Structure 1
Amino acid sequence: MTAENDYPPPGSTTGGFLAGLALLVALGLNLRPLLAAASPLMEEIRLATGLGYAVLAWLTTLPFLCMGGVALASGRLQAWLGQQRGIALALAAIGAACALRQASGSGATLLATALLGGVGIALIQALVPGLVKHRFGRRMPLAMGVYSAALMSGGGLAAWASPWLAQAGGWRLGVGIWWVPALITLVAWWWVSRRRGAPEPAWVALAGPRPWRLPRAWLLALYFGVINAGYSSVVTWLPVYYRELGWSAPSSGLLLAWMTVFQVIAALAMPALAQRQARPDRRRLLATSLMAQLIGYLGWILWPGSGAALWVAFAGFGLGACFSLGLILALDHLSDPRAAGRLAAFMQGVGFMINALSPWISGALREATGDFLAAWMLLALGVAAMLLITLRFDPRGYPRAMAASPVSARSGASARSGAGRR
C-alpha cells in the first residue's frame, strides 16, 4: 500500500507556500479544543458526573497517552494508512469525539471520547513534523512556528468560548461543539488531497536510524516531555486553581485564552529568530523559554492573585516557545527529512507519555495537599533541571550523537572481526 503526499508542495511560488501554511493552520486549530474546552468547566462536569479530581485528570491524561503511543507507531501507521487517509481518519476521530460529548454527558462517554479524540490528535501530530521538514526545507522553522501557533490558538479559543457556550446551552455544548471545525477541515483536507499527484512509497516513513537505539534520542524525548509537561497540567488545572481562589468560570477560562496569546507570540517569534541563526544552535532560545516558564510557576506559587495576568503571560510564552523549539531541535539533528521526522515522532512519543503523567500527578497532589502549590513546585523543579540539560545541545556534536550507539557499534565491529577471521 502506498502513502499519499499531503500538502501541496510550496515550491517557489508565494501561493503554494501560503497554501501549505493554510493547511498547517487548519490542522493545528483542531488539535487542542478537545483538551482545553473542558478545563474551565471542570466544576460543572464534576458536579454533573460525580467524577473526582484524579479521574477528571484522565480527560487530559488519556489524549496525551494516545499522542505518545501513536507517535511511536507513526512510521508503521503511515505505511499502512498513508498520509492522506491517516490525517482524514484522524480528523474524523476528533470530530466524532466532540460530537459524542455534545450528545452524551456521562463520565464514561467523556473518558471514551478522550481516548478516541486523543488517537486522532496523536496521528496528526506524529505526521506533521516530517512533512514540514520535507515540504518547507529551509523555511522549516517558520512553518513549524505557524503550525505551533495555530495549535495553541485552537486551545485558547476553546478555553475562552466554552464557558460562554455553556451559559447559552449547557456544559455539553461547551465541550462538544468543536466537531464543527473538525468537519470543515476534513472536507477541505479531502478536497485538496484528491488533487495531489503521484504517491510516495510507504517505506519512506521508516527511513533513517532507529531512534530507540540512540542515547541522544532518549535524551531528546525526556527533554521534550519535561519542558512541555507544564502545558497538560496548566490547561487542565489552572482554571480550577483560580476558581478555588474565587474567580468565575468565564474569568478563569479567559486566563487560558490570555495565556494562548503569549503562546502564539512565542511560537511565531522564537522560530523566526531560529530561522535567522547562522547555525542551528537553539540553546539560548531554549534557555530563555525555560526561564519564562520558571517565572510563571514561581509567580503562581508566591503571588497568584495580584499578578495573575503577568504570571500567565510568562508561562504561556515559555510553553509556546518550548513546544515549537523542541520540535525544531529534533529536526536539526538529521538532514534527511524522513529520518528527522522519524526522530521527531519518537521524541514526541516518549515525551507525550511524560506529559500524560503531569495532569494526573498534579490532580493527585491537589487531593493529597488540598491545593495546587505542590504541583506548581514540581513543574518549577523540572524546568530548572532542563535548563542544565539544555547545555548539551551543541550542534557541533549532532553527527556524533546521531551515529550508531556504542553497543551497536561494538556489535557491528565484533561481527566484522568474526567474519574476517572466518
Structure 2
Amino acid sequence: MRVALNLLLMIVLAVNLRPILTSIGPLLGPMRASTGLGYQQAALLTALPVLCMGLIPLLQPWLRRWVSEHGGMLAGLSAIALACLWRLQLDSAWALVASAVLAGIGVAVVQGMMPGLVNRWFPTRLAGCMGLYSAALMSGGGLAAMLGPRVSEHFGHWQAGLGLWAIPAVLAILAWAVLRPRSPVPMLSSARSGHWFSSARAWLLALYFGLINGGYTSMVAWLPAFHLEHGGTAQGGGDLVGLMTLFQVCGALGLPLLLRGVTDRRPGLWLALGVQLAGFVGLLLAPTMATGLWVAMIGFGLGACFSLSLTLTLEHLKAPAEAGSLAAFVQGIGFIITGIVPYIAGWLRDMSGDFQASWTLLTVTVLAMLLVTARFTPRGYAAALARPAPDDRVAQVN
C-alpha cells in the first residue's frame, strides 16, 4: 500500500514541473501581439525558469539547514500555484517574465528534491520508477501545450491558458500534505556532506545532463514558432509539442523497460541520442516534408535521455542521501546549461532569420554527447567519484 501511495504522489508532483514552460510556446502569437514581447524576451520565459532550476538545487546544502523537506515541498508547490494564478491577470511583458521567475523557483525546489525521493522510496526499482517519474513530468508538459490554446480560445483570452495550471499545483499541495511518508529523512554522512564542485566526474555528469536536455527546452520554446513560420497555427504548434511529449513518454518508459536487464546505461543513451540526432537532421534537411516524424524522433530521444541520464547519475553512489546530493548538483549545473541553450537558439534565429542555425546547434550538441557517453562505464563509477582521504592528499603532496 505504501509503495502504491508513493507512486501516486510521485506522479502528482511530477505533472506540475513542466506546464509553466510548455504552455508558453503555443500561445506566443497572441502573447506577443498583446504585450509586445520580442523573440529574445520570449526566450526569457523559458530560459529564466530553467536557470532557476539550476541555481536553487546548488543552494540545497545551505537550505537544508533552515528548511525541512516537508516545508520546502509545500513552498515550491505554492510558488507554482501563485505564479499561475498571477498569470490570469497579466497584461505586460515584464510581468510575464516576473511570473516565470516565481514559477521557476517553485519548480526548482520541487524538482531538486525529486530524484532523491525516488531513490529513497524505490531503491530496488530505480530505473523503472525514474522512467515513470520522467514520463509523468513530460506528460504534464504535453497536456499544457495541447490544452492551453483550447482553454484560451474557450475563455477568449490567452491568460486562461497559462493560469489553468494552478489547479494541479493546488491538488499536489493537498496530496503532499496527506499522502507523504512520515518516516525520518536520512542525513548525508560527514564524508559526503560537502559540495561536489571539486569533483571532475560530477562536473562531467552535469555538463552531459545539461547539453542532452538543452534540446527539450529549445523545442518547447521554438517549435510552435517554427511551425507558425511555415504556415501553421497556434493550435498546430501546441499539437506538435503534444506529439513530441507522447514520444518522450514512450522513450522515458519504453527504453528503460527494454533494457531493464542491462546495468550499463551507455547502450540506451547511444540509441536515444542516435534517434534524436536523426530527428534534428530531418528538421535541417526536410523541415516541412515530414515534420511530425522528425518531432516524434526527437521526442523519443529526449525522453529516454532525461530518464537514463538521471538514473546514470544516481547509480554512481549507493547511499540514497549521497546519490540525491549528487543529483541535486548535476541538475543544478545542468539546468543552468539547459536554460542557456534555448536563449542561444533564439539569438541564432534573430540573427539568421530562420531556425536552421538553431537546429544546427542542437545537432552538433547531440553529436558531441554521443562521444562523451563512452566515458560512463559502470565499473568506473566508484573510482570516478572517489575523494582521497586527508592522509592520502598529504602523501601525494610529500
User: Under TM normalisation by the shorter chain, which class is it?
Assistant: over 0.9
Alpha-carbon separation, structure 1, partners of 2:298 and 2:255: 15
Letter in structure 1 aligned against 2:271: T
Match of 2:312 in 1: 329
Following TM superposition, by how much is the alpha carbon of 1:197 offset from its aligned partner in structure 2, in angstroms?
3.4
* Residue 136 of structure 2 is aligned to residue 150 of structure 1: yes
Do the aligned residues in 1 keep the contact of 2:21 with 2:220 (CA within 8 Å)? yes
Do the aligned residues in 1 keep the contact of 2:48 with 2:101 (CA within 8 Å)? yes
Please show how residues 11-410 of structure 1 align to structure 2 within 5 Å: 15-169=1-155, 170-193=157-180, 196-200=181-185, 207=192, 210-277=195-262, 280-404=263-387
After TM superposition, which residue ranges in structure 1, 4 or more long, deviate above 6 angstroms?
Answer: none
Alpha-carbon separation, structure 2, partners of 1:205 and 1:26: 33
Do the aligned residues in 2 keep the contact of 1:206 with 1:342 (CA within 8 Å)? no
Do the aligned residues in 2 keep the contact of 1:91 with 1:120 (CA within 8 Å)? yes
Letter in structure 2 aligned against 1:303: A
Following TM superposition, by how much is the alpha carbon of 1:294 offset from its aligned partner in structure 2, in angstroms?
0.6
Letter in structure 1 aligned against 2:395: A
Change (3 A) 1:370 1:17: same
Alpha-carbon separation, structure 1, partners of 2:356 and 2:116: 38
Alpha-carbon separation, structure 2, partners of 1:110 and 1:204: 42
**Could you tell which deviates more after superposition, 150-159 or 15-24?**
15-24
Do the aligned residues in 1 keep the contact of 2:201 with 2:385 (CA within 8 Å)? yes
Alpha-carbon separation, structure 2, partners of 1:98 and 1:292: 35
Following TM superposition, by how much is the alpha carbon of 1:390 offset from its aligned partner in structure 2, in angstroms?
0.5
Do the aligned residues in 2 keep the contact of 1:209 with 1:339 (CA within 8 Å)? no
Following TM superposition, by how much is the alpha carbon of 1:128 offset from its aligned partner in structure 2, in angstroms?
0.9
Do the aligned residues in 2 keep the contact of 1:98 with 1:178 (CA within 8 Å)? yes
Following TM superposition, by how much is the alpha carbon of 1:167 offset from its aligned partner in structure 2, in angstroms?
1.0
Following TM superposition, by how much is the alpha carbon of 1:395 offset from its aligned partner in structure 2, in angstroms?
0.7
Change (3 A) 1:219 1:201: closer
Following TM superposition, by how much is the alpha carbon of 1:78 offset from its aligned partner in structure 2, in angstroms?
3.2
Q: What RMSD in Å do the two structures reach over aligned CA positions?
A: 1.8
Q: Residues 345-400 of structure 1: CA distance to partner in whole angstroms, max 9, x if unpaired?
A: 11111110001111111111111010111000000001001100001110111111
Do the aligned residues in 1 keep the contact of 2:115 with 2:327 (CA within 8 Å)? yes
Following TM superposition, by how much is the alpha carbon of 1:142 offset from its aligned partner in structure 2, in angstroms?
1.1
Q: Residues 245-276 of structure 1: CA distance to partner in whole angstroms, max 9, x if unpaired?
A: 00011111100001111000111112223432
Following TM superposition, by how much is the alpha carbon of 1:105 offset from its aligned partner in structure 2, in angstroms?
2.5
User: Any gaps of 5 or more consecutive residues in structure 2?
Assistant: none
Match of 1:12 in 2: none
Alpha-carbon separation, structure 2, partners of 1:75 and 1:49: 39
Do the aligned residues in 2 keep the contact of 1:156 with 1:256 (CA within 8 Å)? yes
Alpha-carbon separation, structure 2, partners of 1:210 and 1:262: 36
Alpha-carbon separation, structure 1, partners of 2:20 and 2:327: 23
Alpha-carbon separation, structure 2, partners of 1:46 and 1:258: 24
Alpha-carbon separation, structure 1, partners of 2:191 and 2:303: 29
Alpha-carbon separation, structure 2, partners of 1:313 and 1:32: 18
User: Any gaps of 5 or more consecutive residues in structure 1?
Assistant: 1-14, 418-422
Identity within the alignment, %: 45
Alpha-carbon separation, structure 2, partners of 1:89 and 1:276: 39
Letter in structure 1 aligned against 2:176: W
Change (3 A) 1:165 1:204: farther
Please, what TM-score do these two structures have when normalized by structure 1? 0.90
Letter in structure 1 aligned against 2:260: Q
Letter in structure 2 aligned against 1:199: P
Do the aligned residues in 2 keep the contact of 1:208 with 1:338 (CA within 8 Å)? no
Q: Residues 163-210 of structure 1: CA distance to partner in whole angstroms, max 9, x if unpaired?
A: 1111112101011111011111111211224xx435336656994563
Change (3 A) 1:282 1:302: same
Alpha-carbon separation, structure 1, partners of 2:254 and 2:336: 27
Do the aligned residues in 2 keep the contact of 1:255 with 1:309 (CA within 8 Å)? yes
Do the aligned residues in 2 keep the contact of 1:78 with 1:205 (CA within 8 Å)? no
